[in-house]
Chains A and B, each alone.
Chain A
């Protein structure tokens, strides 16, 4: 992964947080073949999913589509923009559904059917999002480094701070 740009570094930190949540959810679903009680570690993982997944994915995708991709499009990198946007369209509904299911479970626990449904949604979300992050870590961050000059990188990282929050100056 290439993170020598400010923008790349910020997106990389987003990826780290997302991967962390997704892998915790993956581990949880592997540990519990049947519906678990929503307490302890299960509750903590579901809270992270419900609280952070929706916001992070929405803001992350929104930043890329509204600020980063237009710059790439101007430089003729339409293939990358189209494919990543296409994947966002597949991942975002899954992330929102998983967050909603987690929130519902936090409020009322899991029934067996609900647990199976949550596991299915979570499994597809984990696989699609990790495949997506693999591409962004190895390609998008490299493309940012190759296509953006330092001034554009600084402006974009400031735009990230405004749109997403976080320490753009790192």
Chain B
């Protein structure tokens, strides 16, 4: 429904490009920053189980800076067009960015340098931005009566957002006061609510809208979406309760239910892809396919962690598979397609043709990014498993190279978009 809803609201539902693109541009910058900061903290990666420093900052640069940043920009644009309901006021979207983007920058700087004032100020700003953005999304979702496959996952995401924000603020306060009885348990609950709860459910919900559109396949049945949403919600409650109470078996049960949700979700997506009209999958699927493999892989890592395997290697592997493996692969894949898609939609100047996606997209940087990203995942993953920091460093360098290539794609997209609009406007203005 997405594209057509764009159509049905060309004047009302296609947002001014500044709103989504300022989130996307920030995500592109923070993507590069995340790999740079991970390189700086490479020595600590294989044994990382929490605490302030570069690794924590790198994780949050990906989760808050890339994944949630992209999710906010995409949700503001996708929700009104996919649901046919109007978004809240545009100023609220702008305010979200003005609070959230600096907040994430300050918060992650505070984490990297263990600078408490920045930690506190950044956390407050970032949570305030997420709160405004969450209210905007909730306002739209509350007026939707259909599309349960997408909306139920979106509601779970918003509920998780509320919980993870509360836990996040408690964790930040605990760095200086030490009032939490079990900081590590709260941090784990915060991580799973953020990764699987907020970002994961947004990814699952929007996949039910985006994947059929891109492959020209059948929509996912509502029943499938309802099942995956119910299982995902149950998994989150069980896992969070298990982690917070120290009941490993309960957390493991949550991981198992999460695996069931992931299996049904991936089965629904596989059916969509199998029934597609387009024979050739577009290049961005080479990032989505490994992401879909790494989602259950991260849950398996979480399962063995919950069952009592020593956290020394398993915990960083779980976090890396979830954040850099599943979420970052998925989001960079979707982001490159949405950026070009929206640019084409905005490229029409009166009397001219819309720009071709192929003309807007610099494919070589994206090819390079995909290869470098996959190599980075393999090297860092191997470095964690083997306890080899040299592999982590090499992986981070590959990640940096890939992120630079992705940034080149984004800059080139903007340049080509402006050039197309400029060239399209010339004949019109010269005729006046």
Q: Chain B: interface secondary structure?
A: loop
Answer yes or no: B135 CB below 8 A from chain A CBs.
Answer: no
Answer yes or no: B336 CB below 8 A from chain A CBs.
Answer: no
Binds B, one of A41-49, A131-139, A161-169: A131-139
Would you call A140 and B344 a contact (CB within 8 A)?
Answer: no
Contacts of A2 in B (CB 8 A): 1, 219
Of B9, B84, B213, B280, the residue contacting A138 (CB under 8 A) is B213
Would you call B278 and A19 a contact (CB within 8 A)?
Answer: yes
Binds A, one of B97-105, B174-182, B253-261, B350-358: B350-358
Contacts of B1 in A (CB 8 A): 2, 138-139, 142
Complex: chain B residue closest to A12, CB-CB? B277
Would you call A142 and B4 a contact (CB within 8 A)?
Answer: yes
Answer yes or no: A79 CB below 8 A from chain B CBs.
Answer: yes
Complex: chain B residue closest to A124, CB-CB? B356
Determine how close the nearest CB of chain A comes to the CB of B11; give it in whole angstroms. Answer: 5
Would you call B357 and A131 a contact (CB within 8 A)?
Answer: yes
Complex: chain B residue closest to A91, CB-CB? B353
A56-87 interface code vs B (CB 8 A; 1 in, 0 out) = 00000000000000000000011110111011
Contacts of A83 in B (CB 8 A): 7, 10, 348
Would you call A143 and B4 a contact (CB within 8 A)?
Answer: yes
Supposing A135-B4, A135-B7, A138-B4 touch, asked if A87 and B219 sit within 8 A by C-beta, the answer is no
Would you call B3 and A138 a contact (CB within 8 A)?
Answer: yes
Answer yes or no: B246 CB below 8 A from chain A CBs.
Answer: no
Most chain A CB atoms below 10 A, which of B7, B214, B219, B353: B7
Contacts of B216 in A (CB 8 A): 1, 19, 130, 133-134, 137
Answer yes or no: A116 CB below 8 A from chain B CBs.
Answer: no
Which of the four size classes fits the interface of chain A? 35 or more
A141-170 interface code vs B (CB 8 A; 1 in, 0 out) = 111001000000000000000000000000
B276-293 interface code vs A (CB 8 A; 1 in, 0 out) = 011110000000000000
Interface residues of B in 195-235 (CB under 8 A from A): 212-214, 216-219
Contacts of A124 in B (CB 8 A): 356
Answer yes or no: B12 CB below 8 A from chain A CBs.
Answer: yes
Determine how close the nearest CB of chain B comes to the CB of A91; give it in whole angstroms. Answer: 9
Would you call A79 and B4 a contact (CB within 8 A)?
Answer: no
Contacts of A131 in B (CB 8 A): 344, 357
Contacts of B353 in A (CB 8 A): 90
Would you call B2 and A139 a contact (CB within 8 A)?
Answer: yes
Total interface residues on B, CB under 8 Å, equals 31
Q: In whole angstroms, what is the CA distance A138 to B2 when docked?
A: 6
Of B5, B344, B358, the residue contacting A139 (CB under 8 A) is B5
Determine how close the nearest CB of chain B comes to the CB of A150; give it in whole angstroms. Answer: 18
Answer yes or no: A111 CB below 8 A from chain B CBs.
Answer: no
Contacts of A87 in B (CB 8 A): 354
| A-B CB pair tally, cutoff 8 Å | 85
Contacts of B278 in A (CB 8 A): 19, 23, 130
Q: In whole angstroms, what is the CA distance A124 to B355 when docked?
A: 11
Would you call A79 and B11 a contact (CB within 8 A)?
Answer: yes
Would you call A23 and B7 a contact (CB within 8 A)?
Answer: no
Would you call B4 and A139 a contact (CB within 8 A)?
Answer: yes
Supposing A2-B219, A19-B216, A19-B277 touch, asked if A140 and B354 sit within 8 A by C-beta, the answer is no
Would you call A79 and B9 a contact (CB within 8 A)?
Answer: yes
Contacts of A90 in B (CB 8 A): 353-354
Would you call B3 and A134 a contact (CB within 8 A)?
Answer: yes
Complex: chain B residue closest to A20, CB-CB? B277
Interface residues of A in 1-59 (CB under 8 A from B): 1-2, 15-16, 19, 23, 26-27
Would you call B218 and A139 a contact (CB within 8 A)?
Answer: no
Determine how close the nearest CB of chain B comes to the CB of A115; give it in whole angstroms. Answer: 20
Answer yes or no: B8 CB below 8 A from chain A CBs.
Answer: yes
Would you call B277 and A80 a contact (CB within 8 A)?
Answer: no
Determine how close the nearest CB of chain A comes to the CB of B321; give it in whole angstroms. Answer: 32
Would you call A80 and B4 a contact (CB within 8 A)?
Answer: yes
Answer yes or no: B155 CB below 8 A from chain A CBs.
Answer: no
Complex: chain B residue closest to A77, CB-CB? B8
Supposing A1-B218, A137-B216 touch, asked if A127 and B357 sit within 8 A by C-beta, the answer is yes
Contacts A127-B358, A134-B3, A134-B216 given; 19 further ones with Cβ under 8 A? A1-B212, A1-B216, A1-B218, A2-B1, A19-B216, A77-B8, A79-B7, A79-B10, A79-B12, A80-B4, A83-B348, A90-B354, A127-B356, A131-B357, A137-B213, A138-B3, A139-B5, A143-B7, A143-B8
Q: List 16 A-B contacts (CB under 8 A).
A: A1-B217, A1-B219, A2-B1, A23-B278, A79-B10, A80-B7, A80-B8, A80-B10, A133-B216, A135-B6, A138-B2, A138-B3, A141-B4, A142-B4, A143-B4, A143-B7
Binding site for B on A (CB under 8 A): 1-2, 15-16, 19, 23, 26-27, 77-80, 82-84, 86-87, 90, 124, 127-128, 130-131, 133-143, 146
